[in-house]
Amino acid sequence: MLFALLALALIALVLAAPLIVNAIQRRRATRRPHRAAGGLEDLSLYDPGRERRAEQRARELLRSCVNEEEWSMYRDLGFIRVAGRHARRESDKHNGPAYAYLVYPHKPIVAYVPASGQLLSEYCVEFPDLTGGGGRHRLPASDDVLAKWMALTSDEDRVIKRANLHLVGRQHDPARVRRDLWRLAEWERRRGSRPEIQQKSW
Amino acid sequence: MSDPRRPPEERAIKFLRMKPGHGEVLLAEGDPRVEEDEERLIEEFRRQLDEGMWAAIPTTHPGSGRREAQLVKDFADVPIEAERVIFFPRASGG
């Protein structure tokens, strides 16, 4: 009796198979336009040139704010050096700054001693725009550099206090930073500029 | 800093703001010596600071000619000869 019922169920399934397949195909067909429309919507929201144009504007703004040497440094090397404000001893006031910063886009600021090349620390600092929509909080790379430059040259203590201090090596590769210092020295040699960095008025 | 010898009609100041995905955006522009413009500029200045922005003015050090920035917390601190104020998000530990 059980075998007879199973056999009937199997026969019914085989007979109904074409109907089931048709129903599935109809359902897929009705879903396809929605999916396609959704895809187009996503495509129209994403503009691949937007970030590039934003970065171009940011570079122009940075160029208009910093001096020619700093702009060339950023263009050629990808970072800007900013002199530290504080002197460790009286002689530092006359012999150049005791320390300086390397300002990288979207990476921690690196403090170092220009006289010896000794790396001091990383200052992890961000400028997140939490008011913007669309989940975009990160400034274009050159705006990030300009924000750091403005913060350091106007109120170094404030930005350093807000930053998280780490030894060099947490986010930066120390070997790479040392190589950047070497590149900077070579860059200055080629430009024929003075090796000491631009000093603040103490 | 702008040239103080500029004709008076050219002494307008621009408020720019750094924005993710945009670069800088012009927020407001006007002559702070004109009362209507000044009110509009003050209102925009306060709005930006209320939104958590810092305001900086790119300047040139008169002695050394070095470029630097000056942070301002009040519209009254903006030098009359300033050409632009740049608003950018406050620094926070990364």
The pLDDT profile of chain B, 94 residues, written as one tens digit per residue, is 445 555 555 679 999 999 998 899 999 999 999 999 999 999 999 999 999 999 999 999 887 778 999 999 999 999 988 999 999 999 998 7
Dihedral through CA A80, CA A85, CA A87, CA A91, nearest 10?
70
B79 CA: distance to closest CA in chain A (Å):
15
- ipTM of this complex prediction, to 2 decimal places: 0.89
Q: Which of A58, A143, A162 sits opposite B91 (nearest CB)?
A: A162
Question: Looking at beta carbons, which residues of chain A come within 8 Å of B66?
Answer: 67, 198, 200
- Phi first, then psi: give them for residue A153, nearest 5 degrees: -80, -15
CA distance A114 to A94: 14
Q: Which parts of chain A have pLDDT scores under 50?
A: 33-43, 196, 198-202
CA A159 to each of CA A131, A144, B7, B56: distance values in angstroms, whole numbers, following the listed order: 20, 13, 37, 13
CA-nearest residue of chain A to B19?
A: A139
B68 touches chain A (CB under 8 A): yes
What tokens does B60 get? 């040139």
**B13, B78 contact by CB (below 8 A):** yes
